[in-house]
Chain A
Amino acid sequence: MSKIIIGRYIPGNSVVYKMDPRGKIIATFLFIVIIFLANNWLSYLFLSFFTLLAVGATKLKPKVFWDGVKPLIWLILFTSVLQLFFTTGGKIYWHWGIFNVSEYGIQNSIFIFIRFVMIILISTVLTLTTTSLEIADGMEWILRPLGYLKVPVAQIALVMSIALRFVPTLLDQAVRIMNAQRARGADFNSGGLIKRIHAIIPILIPLFISSLTIAIDLATAMEARGYREGSKRTRYRVLKWSKYDWINLGYFALLTLILLLTRTY
């Protein structure tokens, strides 16, 4: 479980860490949109260059990013291979039944590969350098316009930050329960599918019970400290927009512009 890098935060102090989470979230989402603007070799070259620049700016070890890509490598290769064999057009190099390797197929499979890796890298940059609370705060700010549509943004934000706060607690609890049951002879790693599903019960039931207990206790504690639903609250964590965020968005606008130019070119 400790090998999974997606959704993990690694403390550091490079420029990327000083950026506002709102800017980073917006840039990440837009990146996934503009990645589809790229349609030729030159645009992919620029895209890769800018992504690697962002990765480099975090000043984290490259191995960390490789750990982020690794669990998805089979999905990426599978998709690329499908593209390779089932795209027609251009010169056909090889043909057998419904399979064929064509000029466009090779090109498309490489493009898809780059696309996947770039999306994973950029979202890893976001999660590695932003704490989950910052992400929740940023999301709340981004969702704020939905308040006009009677969406309870403040409550959603509270739910998000509580949920994020309890991910590590529940993970710890799950590990503790697993260990306790293992000590009593439970076996989670052997037997057939049915047996393994059955073996999860001694973990799941205590975990449900303890999450419900935590929820009840937390609700009482929050009420005791003056929390009332719907009443106005001030905020303690204030997001601050700095010059780095203008650089971030400027960099992003530049990339969009270049992609548009290479498209028409």
Chain B
Amino acid sequence: MSIEFKNVDYIYAPETPFQTQGLADISFKIKSGSFVAIAGHTGSGKSTLMQHFDGLLLPSSGAVNIADKTITSNTSSKSLKEIRKKVGLVFQFPESQLFEETVLKDVMFGPLNFGFSEQKAKEQAIEWIEKVGLSEQVMNKSPFELSGGQMRRVAIAGVMAYEPDILCLDEPAAGLDPEGQKQMFDIFKNYQQEGHTVILISHNMDDISQYADDMLVLEHGRLIKHASPKEVFSDPNWVKEHFLDEPATSKFARELEKGGFQFSEMPLTIDSLVNKIANNLKAKGGNE
């Protein structure tokens, strides 16, 4: 299911003294089934953009095309529910949205709202609670008895339980321990490989370079680059100019280049970095 933005503007609090421009003239198209990263400095409009994906914000002008539906400034709120079923949004610190008495009930909240039967909702909830790495004992506990990391998993399960075609994640791993982060990202990557579209907002260039295959870079509410991470990170000066960071792998590779290593292209994942170093060493070893 593809997403297309056509000249989207968004203005906060129009016609009041507090008017500010959130997004300006954004146009792009995302292919179905891709893993898209949205990057940009704080206040560049990433979260504002994300809220357009399921109509929480309506564009002030322009149009958003999602799942064969068009959202414009005068789309009625009734027709949005269908879109929200297809687009799952995981907000920053999603654990703040938990409210039910038990974890199971909380995860079932979404599916029930979107018209799943009680039985089906329960099945889906149990499946996803297990998939996000929580044990069965947790299910009947109150979500408020859990640790922060467990609450995060419950909240994410609560969105994934209705299996949206498009999954948007706003800094989903912020505040998790390194192992938890890797686990969550593997779940998201898997979900994408099953044929869903995953959109990730992140400040962490390592996560982006590791998992994403397409990238949107925002600055001051404008889209300044839409390319693959490979292309974006190929120019370190451009990256620095726009307040982004290079992934640790290509930084490391650049340091190695100073010592005589040769890289045909900058490695973006640890695997490719290791492979290239190994190849380099082999080539050197062959010479001796």
Contacts and interface: CB of A to CB of B under 8 A. Distances in A.
A61 B17 CA distance: 10
Interface string B81-98: 100110111010010111
A210 B96 CA distance: 7
Interface centre among B16, B77, B85, B109 (most CB of A within 10 A): B16
Given A179-B56, A180-B94, A206-B96, A186 B113 contact: yes
Nearest to A173: B96
Contact of A206 (B18, B87, B98): B98
Contacts of A185: 81, 84-85, 109-110, 112-114, 162
Contacts of A232: none
A70 interface: no
A205 B17 contact: no
Interface string B124-161: 00000000000000000000100000000000001100
Contacts of B88: 183
B179 to A, nearest CB: 25
A156 interface: no
B113 A177 contact: no
A182 B84 contact: yes
B113 A176 contact: no
Contacts of A206: 96-99
Contacts of A189: 77
B97 A181 contact: yes
A199 B78 CA distance: 16
A91 to B, nearest CB: 46
B51 interface: yes
A183 B80 CA distance: 10
A205 to B, nearest CB: 4
A264 interface: no
Interface in A161-205: 173, 176-177, 179-187, 189, 201-202, 205
B13 interface: yes
B54 interface: yes
B30 to A, nearest CB: 18
Interface centre among A3, A180, A182, A202 (most CB of B within 10 A): A180
A187 B51 CA distance: 16
Contacts of A184: 84, 97, 109-110, 113, 158-159
Nearest to A180: B97
B109 A202 contact: yes
**Count class of interface residues, chain B:** 20 to 34
A231 interface: no
Given A184-B109, A184-B159, A202 B99 contact: yes
A10 B99 CA distance: 36
Interface in B39-96: 51, 54, 56, 77, 81, 84-85, 87-89, 91, 94, 96
Contact of B99 (A173, A179, A182, A201): A201
A179 B94 CA distance: 11
B81 A187 contact: yes
Contacts of B96: 173, 176-177, 180, 206, 209-210
A179 B110 CA distance: 13
Given A2-B16, A206-B96, A210-B96, A183 B113 contact: no
B77 A183 contact: no
Contacts of B51: 179
Nearest to B92: A176
A124 B81 CA distance: 39
A202 B143 CA distance: 13
B113 A209 contact: no
B188 to A, nearest CB: 17
B17 A179 contact: no
A176 B16 CA distance: 22
A182 B89 CA distance: 10
Nearest to A204: B99
Contacts of B159: 183-184
A206 B85 CA distance: 22
A180 B109 CA distance: 12
Contacts of B87: 183
A209 B96 CA distance: 8
A202 B114 CA distance: 16
B152 to A, nearest CB: 13
Nearest to A61: B17
B18 A2 contact: yes
Nearest to A190: B78
B54 A10 contact: no
Interface of A: 2-3, 10, 61, 64, 173, 176-177, 179-187, 189, 201-202, 205-206, 209-210
13 contacts: A64-B17, A179-B51, A179-B56, A180-B91, A183-B88, A183-B159, A184-B84, A184-B109, A184-B159, A185-B81, A185-B162, A189-B77, A209-B144
Given A180-B91, A184-B97, A202-B99, 4 more contacts: A180-B89, A182-B84, A187-B81, A206-B96
